[in-house]
Amino acid sequence: LTLSRSRPAEKVKRFLQEFCRDGELGKEFPYRDQLVSLAHREQVALYVDLDEVAEEDPELVDAVCENAKRYARLFADAVHELLPQHKEREVVNKDVLDVYIEHRLMLEQRGRDAGETHGPQNQYPPELLRRFELYFKAPSASKAHVIRDVKADCIGKLVTVRGIVTRVTEVKPMMVVATYSCDQCGAETYQPIQSPTFMPLIMCPSQECQTNRSGGRLYLQSRGSKFIKFQELKMQEHSDQVPVGHLPRSISVAVHGENTRLAQPGDHVSITGVFLPLLRAGFRQIAQVRKEDVNEAMRLMEMSKDSLLGDKEEDFYDKLAASIAPEIYGHEDVKKALLLLLVGGVDRNPRGMKIRGNINICLMGDPGVAKSQLLSYIDRLAPRSQYTTGRGSSGVGLTAAVLRDPLTGELALEGGALVLADQGVCCIDEFDKMLESDRTAIHEVMEQQTISIAKAGVLATLNARCAILAAANPAYGRYNPKRSLEQNVQLPAALLSRFDLLWLIQDRPDRDNDLRLAQHITYVHQHSRQPPCAFQQLDMKLMSTYTHTHPAFPQAAAGGGRDLRDGAGAGRRGGRVPQRAADVIFAAVRELAGGAGGRSVRYAEAEQRCVSKGFTPAQFQAALDEYEELNVWQVNQARTRITFV
């Protein structure tokens, strides 16, 4: 057993020490660099890429994926053993737990020298001494599971699931190691905790209390215990992953440490973790999570040269609009409006008043003009979107509901469709069939883009920065040209004023247009694709890239713009921009040289003058080197005289 356990541990340690890849300056050792950062507290988490492990040992990758919990401990033990070898300097900033551990290790060393023996519960658990976290990155060849396919055969394995985050709890501390002290003998007892709930120890197990039968009681010491950040997510299947006639499945995800606060309700995410059963209330959970945001990966997609050259054409705007739902005939102006809705605008706050940048559009038209098909295409095209109908949605389902958290028992908010579509698009079909009481719930969202909640003692304001795309039918089913617009569109004026565009799509009888429409529909039904076009239409992935491009602003340019803004603001206020220390030192040295009547000055005299003005010798030396590189002055080799050039 010892031999079988030592062989994987040796493989893990050898991989962390010897893995290298070719870089610009030669061989690079990525895991050695991470170990150095961990030893100096510059980094908290160590990320192990299983694709890199597969290059060295494919069998080790299979073992990690099959028994992830055990190999996570092996990797953590190897990192803990290698950290002292990569520690080049002492850590300056120490917290309370650092001081506590150092003091206890010193006492343990003294006790070991005195020949004392310690019981198993008096020894320091490895979780208490480790100050790092370890995460696996799934192999690129592995496919993401659907939530309903994660079953009993996946227990203990490393699995990747895709879905949408529907609920996120608050980040709270979770106890990993509980430390107790005895009121009789003073001995300390440690209890590692592996589950969300645990039974605290009461009686002291130390040898002294057992021998004397003093009946010492244990008291929890929070300063000596170790806590980590804990958050629970609830994931749900995508709508395209749910079979016909089934309800969407969900799964609970336990997130620890550095992975907390990475996901928000409505995010489409891919999560890698260990699938474990949980005794409490039959919940399923995935522990030790590494989260990858699908939206972020989509924004980082590399575009080809051909696609970049296409946006320089004059009619590229028309091509983009025509590429929206190309199987739907006509509606060119409506598609251009939907393209602007996907791109969105910029929020403005003049004098504290918020002006939204998103566009709200209502498609009002006769039956059979492809309103629902346009909504369905926009729902699939937008990376962050929600699709709902008027009769199938309530006011609570659109805004937020107050539920009791099963983990803590506290009241918590669960966002509705508008909250899940934050910074995206919310498509509402059959808008005219919605009840008036439910329809008033979205008035605040359409203008202020927030949802104010005051229910069951929970007072909160949730963000709902989304564009609303609604589809509705006129009164009495079809548009009656003999009636006025107000009689045909039976929506309240307070709601109509919040729509920026109201499209009236009529199905007028026209022989030529109906013939072209019939030819288009029969071609689509016969060949299962749209008719050939004069230009090459863009695919959905490229369309999503164009509509969600985020401009990058270099950090250096941002710093220069900040300096320029500060200088302009100081000029407008009649003030002066504060001088740098090097410029003030240069002026003092130049004044000293001019007073001496020559072009040189003694080094010690110049340094004394600058120190008397409040500068340190290090600042004087830095200014000296800066102006020497600019060839303003020169310092002799003995560093006794400064001569101006």
Position 577 pLDDT exceeds 80: no
- What distance in Å separates the CA atoms of residue 332 and residue 629, rounded to the nearest whole number? 63
Position 24 pLDDT exceeds 80: no
| pLDDT confidence bin for 351, thresholds 50/70/90 | confident
Query: How confident is the model over 561-567, as a mean pLDDT?
Result: 60
- What distance in Å separates the CA atoms of residue 441 and residue 439, rounded to the nearest whole number? 5
CB-count exposure of residue 127 (10 Å: 0-12, 13-18, 19+): middle
Position 301 pLDDT exceeds 80: no
- What distance in Å separates the CA atoms of residue 352 and residue 348, rounded to the nearest whole number? 9
Q: Give me the CATH code for the 139-300 domain, please.
A: 2.40.50.140
Classify the phi-psi angles of 491: left when phi > 0, otherwise alpha if psi is within -120 to 50, otherwise beta.
beta
Position 305 pLDDT exceeds 60: no
What percentage of the chain carries pLDDT values higher than 90?
Answer: 2
What are the residue boundaries of the structural domains of the chain, listed by start?
139-300, 305-547, 581-644
Q: Are the CB atoms for 237 and 217 separated by under 8 Å?
A: no
- Mean pLDDT for all residues in the chain: 78
Structure tokens at 419: 């909250």
Considering Cα of 625, then 631, then 632, then 637, what sign does the dihedral take?
Answer: positive
Instruction: Collect contacts of 447-454 with beta carbons under 8 A, ≥24 apart.
Output: 447/356, 447/498, 448/354, 448/356, 449/354, 449/356, 449/358, 451/399, 451/400, 451/418, 451/419, 453/399, 453/400, 453/402, 453/413
3-state secondary structure of 133: strand
| pLDDT confidence bin for 293, thresholds 50/70/90 | very low
Range in 122-126, 501-505, 632-636 the model is least confident about: 122-126
pLDDT for 438-459, tens place per residue?
888 888 888 888 888 887 777 8
Q: Give me the CATH code for the 305-547 domain, please.
A: 3.40.50.300
Give how far the C-alpha of residue 246 lies from the chain's centroid of Cα atoms, to the nearest Å.
Answer: 30
Range in 32-46, 372-386, 544-558 the model is least confident about: 544-558
| Terminal C-alpha separation, the chain | 77
- What distance in Å separates the CA atoms of residue 435 and residue 373, rounded to the nearest whole number? 23
| pLDDT confidence bin for 427, thresholds 50/70/90 | very high
Position 237 pLDDT exceeds 80: yes
Per-residue pLDDT at 109: 72
Per-residue pLDDT at 295: 38
What percentage of the chain carries pLDDT values higher than 70?
Answer: 83
Position 407 pLDDT exceeds 80: no
Range in 84-93, 452-461, 512-521, 631-640 the model is least confident about: 84-93
Domain 581-644, CATH class in plain words: mainly alpha
Position 93 pLDDT exceeds 80: no
Per-residue pLDDT at 558: 55
CA distances for 645 relative to 281, 591, 592, 630, 639, angstroms: 82, 15, 15, 10, 16
Per-residue pLDDT at 565: 60
Per-residue pLDDT at 635: 84
| pLDDT confidence bin for 236, thresholds 50/70/90 | confident
Per-residue pLDDT at 555: 55
Per-residue pLDDT at 285: 52
Which one has a higher pLDDT value, 486 or 364? 364
Instruction: Collect contacts of 639-642 with beta carbons under 8 A, ≥24 apart.
Output: 639/603, 640/602, 640/603, 640/604, 641/600, 641/601, 641/602, 641/603, 642/589, 642/593, 642/600, 642/601, 642/602, 642/603, 642/606
Q: Are the CB atoms for 44 and 229 separated by under 8 Å?
A: no
In the chain, the amino acid numbered 201 is L
**In sequence order, what DSSP letters do the residues of 498-528 get, joined into one string?**
T-SEEEEE-----HHHHHHHHHHHHHHHHHS
CA distances for 104 relative to 41, 111, 197, 224, 645, angstroms: 21, 10, 27, 10, 62
| pLDDT confidence bin for 561, thresholds 50/70/90 | low
CA distances for 639 relative to 149, 173, 364, 612, angstroms: 75, 58, 84, 20
Name the DSSP letter for residue 355.
Answer: B
Q: Are the CB atoms for 354 and 347 separated by under 8 Å?
A: yes
